Amino acid sequence: MVTVIAHRGARSLAPENTLAAARKAHRLGADLWETDVAVTADDQLVLMHDDAMIRTTNVSDIFPERVPAAFSTYSLAEIRSLDAGSWFEHDDPFGQVAAGAVGRQELARYAGEKVPTLREAFELTLVLDWFLNLELKAQPLPKNDFDLVDAVLNLADEVSIGPDHLLFSSARFSWLKTLKQRRPDFEVQAILGLFPEDPMDFTDPFFDTFNPRYTRLSVDQLKRQVDLGLKLNPFTVNDDKMIASLIEVGVAGLITDFPQRVPK
Ligand code: G3P
Ligand code: MG
């Protein structure tokens, strides 16, 4: 059975990287949710994908003189004052609101959704007895040297979330290796092709799970890696036919904005 990994939560049906998107993905039966951790100006951990928060919050209304500065220049209190849900009604990324796939009541509930803290994400995952794939992304200035591994492990210990509810993924392999040295019990997954110049190299023996950008390779090339014994979780697979093809070649999981499209 393929593992269904809801990319930024159920991103097609709810505002990405919010607790509402996570809950939606859980209701849809996803096996995990994937999210991106971001460091605030005051060294707090929140969930955010884009460096600038323009697309997924009302930062342009609240701090017009500061956009498009990165999230790393805003304090936690400033980020928590933003509305990370209302944008979805008018700008949902896959036209699912116009298609009638999102209920009116659900849409109304998204308004006012906050940017979650990582603590809240951990706590929700535990409450639901669910599983989180936490992506450790390179942080924008001035937090580019922030010790993200240390911070996420300390928080995980504080909240008592362990390897049965949490794994880590990253395109920065050195972070994953440091993390594994400190905590060998946690699973780590190497992301390939996050940036166009990144090599699609599956040969680092440290990893047995790779999360490749599937568009960089043919289905046959992916199959070759599966046949060599690697576990693959390609991203971000939304197309029905591609979902079926990748299940057919035996990928371990699918990172998708449409967990509702993956047959269970
Ligand atoms: O985990 C894979 C995927 O999340 C990487 O892409 O940019 O959506 O975080 P991105
Ligand atoms: Mg991600």
The model's pLDDT over 216-262, given as tens digits with 9 standing for 90+, comes to 999 999 999 999 999 999 999 999 999 999 999 999 999 999 999 99
Whether 264 has a pLDDT exceeding 90, the answer reads: no
Report if residue 92 sits inside a domain: no
Predicted TM-score (pTM) of this structure: 0.98
Mean pLDDT of the 105-112 span:
97
Whether 130 has a pLDDT exceeding 90, the answer reads: yes
End-to-end CA distance of the chain: 7
Q: Mutation test of ligand 1: which of 255, 256, 257, 258 has the most ligand atoms closer than 8 Å to its C-beta?
A: 255
Report if residue 239 sits inside a domain: yes
Ligand of minimum distance to the alpha carbon of 190: 1
Domain carrying residue 192 = 3-50+117-261
The model's pLDDT over 28-65, given as tens digits with 9 standing for 90+, comes to 999 999 999 999 999 999 999 999 999 999 999 999 99
- Residue 213 to residue 196: CA distance in whole angstroms: 10
Mean pLDDT over all residues of the chain? 98
pLDDT band at residue 141, thresholds of 50, 70 and 90?
very high
**Which whole-number Å values give the CA distances from 112 to 73, 80, 81, 82, 125, in the listed order?**
22, 10, 9, 8, 21
Strand partners, 46: 38, 117
Mean pLDDT of the 108-132 span:
98
Q: Is the CB of 237 under 6 A from ligand 1?
A: no
Q: Is the CB of 35 under 6 A from ligand 1?
A: no
Report if residue 65 sits inside a domain: no
Report if residue 56 sits inside a domain: no
Q: Under 8 Å CB-to-CB from 225, ≥6 apart: which residues?
A: 202, 210, 232
Burial class (CB in 10 A: 0-12, 13-18, 19+), 105: exposed
Report residue 102 as tokens.
Answer: 């999102």
Report if residue 100 sits inside a domain: no
Number of domains in the chain: 1
137 CA closest ligand 1 atom index: 9
- Residue 257 near residue 238, CB atoms below 8 Å: yes
Q: Is the CB of 17 under 6 A from ligand 1?
A: no
Report residue 176 as tokens.
Answer: 């994953």
Q: Under 8 Å CB-to-CB from 164, ≥6 apart: which residues?
A: none
CATH number at residue 157: 3.20.20.190
Report residue 41 as tokens.
Answer: 């100006």
CA 247 to chain centre: 21
Instruction: For the chain, list the strands marked E by DSSP.
Output: 3-7, 32-39, 45-47, 132-136, 166-170, 188-192, 209-212, 231-232, 253-256
Ligand of minimum distance to the alpha carbon of 168: 1
Mean pLDDT of the 161-167 span:
98
Residue having the nearest C-alpha atom to atom 2 of ligand 1: 235
Report if residue 103 sits inside a domain: no
**Concatenated DSSP letters for 165-233?**
TEEEEES-HHHHHHHHHH-TTS-EEEEE-SSTTS------TT-SEEEEBGGGS-HHHHHHHHHTT-EE-
Measure 211 CA to ligand 1 centroid, in angstroms: 9
